[in-house]
Amino acid sequence: MNVIYLSPGFPAEMPLFVRGLAQIGAKVYGVGDQPKEALPEDARDGLSDYLQVRSFDDEAAVVSQIRRWMHGKSIDRVECMWERLMYLAATLRETFSVPGMNKAQTVIVRDKELMKQAVESAGLRVPRHGRARSVAEAWAVVERVGYPAILKPIDGAGSVDTFRCNDREEFEAALNRTRHVTELSVEEFIEGEELTYDTVCADGNILFENVAWYRPKPMILAQNPWISMQNIVLRDINDEFPRPGVELGHGVLKALGFESGFTHMEWFRTASGEAVFGEIGARPPGARLVHAMNYSADIDLFSGWAEATCFGRLSQNTEKKYNAAMIFKRAEGDGLVREHRGLRGLMRRYGDCVASLDLTPIGEPRRDWRKIVVGDGWIVVRHPELSQCLDVSERFVNDLTVIAE
Ligand SMILES: Nc1ncnc2c1ncn2[C@@H]1O[C@H](COP(=O)(O)OP(=O)(O)O)[C@@H](O)[C@H]1O
Ligand SMILES: [Mg+2]
């Protein structure tokens, strides 16, 4: 099984998927724009060969370089977990007749308007929505959608350039702040909790599914530097809290005709218990959520995904044992980290629940959470009971402070 893997060294979790592929016996051919020596160790160890391209932007050049490089070898899969290169992956699949998502399927999971149209036409609930290529179009859409509204890039990521607008003035201000964005999505603002529905699929079958609960919502997090994010992987996805999203997720995957690989959907749960579609990507969730899923069931989805993608099965026992809460800390103050205030007491009381703890070490500079998603550290706590997991998680949010000065 020969797998071409795009960008094996970046973003952060890619080397782990490379390692997963190697573990299940695939030969991994990495294509990246970094020099080989710059690749993280997991990536280098997992690769059978590596091709450095000058730039991913010149698609035709990359295709012909790969053609020469792979001459005489079969190409069985082309894998890519990075949104930026998904079209290139689709082009490669089409060029070399490899199974997996083609360009037409890829655009649906990249363009927030097309994806909502596809989901909506299957009779599923999406926010009222519209595409805007100009200021005039944006005003026309918001007239129809009403306030509060959301204004965001049509193919955005990480809540960048995303604004909630409660009235005309706020909408106008948001339009001014997004002048550099060529295409916008305007949506009805959905009030409610925000959760994920994630899967690993093969041949159209769901082999693993997951719901995680964002606290607070990513948009709030992006706008408030002091907040520690919690992301809670739920043990029982049949409980009445996550269930509507699981059902919505099943419908969405069917509507998109999704076949193989990771999916990451976001959805809103309104106070009345209705699930409203947010967005979906044909990739794993970022921000270490795969790690949190692993901790919830003591599994390794990096190799689990690889097995599903290459051989259509997931042979690990993926039954969840825990609710697993992941917390990202952001340091207080500037400069070097001086203290992990509160840590000792927390470990004494809740150490049994801590599955992983990784804070910026004392003496190192504090990090920029806008660039490094884990900020000044991440902690995973877990417990079979949700209420206990939430309590312990709250303690780490409130009683642990990374102090920098
Ligand atoms: N229609 C909506 N209603 C409420 N909140 C929204 C809506 N659309 C986006 N948001 C908020 O903005 C965040 C970013 O939007 P999203 O569509 O997920 O884009 P991306 O994650 O690609 O930046 C969401 O996680 C959510 O918190
Ligand atoms: Mg999102």
| pLDDT over 80 (residue 225) | no
At residue 5, the pLDDT reads 98
Task: State if residue 127 touches ligand 1 by the CB under 6 angstroms criterion.
Answer: yes
Cβ–ligand 1 distance for 189 under 6 Å, the answer yes
Higher pLDDT, 321 or 374: 321
pLDDT band (50, 70, 90) for residue 217: confident
Residue with CA closest to ligand 1 atom 8: 150
Amino acid 70: pLDDT: 97
Which of 193, 279, 280 maximizes ligand 1 atoms within 8 Å of its Cβ, making it the mutation to test the pocket? 279
Is 381's pLDDT higher than 80? yes
* pLDDT, position 226: 78
Return the percentage of the chain with pLDDT > 90, whole number. 93
Confidence (pLDDT) at 176: 97
The CATH fold assigned to 193-404 is D-amino Acid Aminotransferase; Chain A, domain 1 (3.30.470)
pLDDT band at 370; cut points 50, 70, 90: confident
pLDDT confidence tier of residue 224, bands split at 50, 70 and 90? confident
Confidence of residue 175 (pLDDT cuts 50, 70, 90): very high
Question: Hey, what's the torsion of the CAs at 182, 187, 189, 195, to 10 degrees?
Answer: -90
pLDDT at 372: 85
CA of 219 to the centre of ligand 1 (A): 7
| Mean pLDDT of the chain, nearest integer | 96
pLDDT at 338 over 80: yes
Q: How far is the CA of 310 from the centre of ligand 1 (A)?
A: 32
The one-letter code for the residue type at 314 is L
Residue 206, pLDDT score = 98
d(CA 2, CA 99): 13
Token pair recorded at residue 3: 């797998």
Q: How far is the CA of 400 from the centre of ligand 1 (A)?
A: 28
What tens digit of pLDDT does each residue of 47-59 get?
999 999 999 999 9
User: Looking at residue 269, what is its pLDDT?
Assistant: 98
Domain covering 2-100: architecture: 3-Layer(aba) Sandwich (3.40)
User: Does pLDDT of 401 surpass 90?
Assistant: yes
Instruction: At 304, list the tokens.
Output: 């689990």
Two tokens at 157?
Answer: 């990521």
Mean pLDDT of 375-403: 96
Is there an atom of ligand 1 within 6 Å of 9 CB?
A: no
Place of tokens 């363009």: 111
Between 292 and 287, where is the model more confident? 292
Cα(220)–Cα(161) distance, rounded to whole angstroms?
Answer: 13
pLDDT band at 15 (very low <50, low <70, confident <90, very high): very high
Atom number, ligand 1, closest to the C-alpha of residue 127: 1
Q: Which residue's entry shows tokens 């890829």?
A: 106
Q: Identify which of 176, 56, 157, 172 has the alpha carbon closest to the alpha carbon of residue 111.
A: 157
Q: Give me the helices (H) in 132-242, please.
A: 135-145, 168-177, 218-223
Q: Decide yes or no: CATH 3.40.50.1360 for domain 128-188.
A: no
CB 41 within 8 A of CB 15: yes
Does residue 150 line the site of ligand 1, with CB under 6 A?
A: yes
Nearest C-alpha neighbor of 322 from the set 380, 381, 383, 379: 383
Whole-model pTM above 0.85?
Answer: yes
Q: Is the pLDDT of residue 328 over 90?
A: yes
**Ligand 1, atom nearest to 159 Cα:** 23
Q: CA 23, 25, 29, 34: dihedral to nearest 10 degrees?
A: 10
Q: Does any ligand 1 atom lie closer than 6 A to the CB of residue 266?
A: yes
pLDDT at 359: 98
Give 222's pLDDT tier (boundaries 50, 70, 90).
confident
91-110: average pLDDT: 96
Cα(144) to ligand 2 centroid in Å equals 23
In this prediction, residue 6 carries a pLDDT of 98
Distances (CA, A) of 125 to 206, 249, 281: 21, 11, 17
Q: Which ligand is nearest to the CA of 157?
A: 1
Which residue's alpha carbon is nearest to atom 20 within ligand 1? 157
Which residue out of 113, 150, 155, 194 has the highest number of ligand 1 atoms within 8 Å of its CB and is therefore the one to mutate? 150
Residue 158 Cβ < 6 Å to ligand 1 = yes
The pLDDT of 235-248, averaged and rounded, is 98
pLDDT of residue 227: 84
User: Residue 324: is its pLDDT beyond 80?
Assistant: yes
How would residue 216 be classed by pLDDT, with cut points 50, 70 and 90? confident
Residue 369's pLDDT band, with cuts at 50, 70 and 90, is: confident
Any ligand 1 atom below 6 A from CB of 187:
yes
Answer yes or no: is the C-beta of 53 below 6 A from any ligand 1 atom: no
pLDDT of residue 158: 84
Interval 196-207: pLDDT, tens: 999 999 999 999
**Does the C-beta of 113 come closer than 6 Å to ligand 1?**
no
- The answer to whether residues 327 and 379 touch, using CB atoms and an 8 Å cutoff, is yes
Give the distance (Å) from ligand 1 centre to CA of residue 202: 28
Taking CA atoms only, the protein residue closest to ligand 1 atom 25 is 218
pLDDT over 90 at 367, yes or no: yes
pLDDT at 156: 85
- Residue spans of the domains in the chain: they are 2-100, 128-188, 193-404
Percent of the chain with pLDDT over 70: 100
Question: Distances from the Cα of 263 to the Cαs of 16, 198, 201, 323, 398, in angstroms?
Answer: 17, 5, 8, 20, 32
Return the amino acid letter for 357. L
Q: What is the pLDDT of residue 141?
A: 98
Residue 180 contacts by C-beta under 8 Å, 6 or more apart in sequence? none
Task: Find the ligand nearest to 220 CA.
Answer: 1
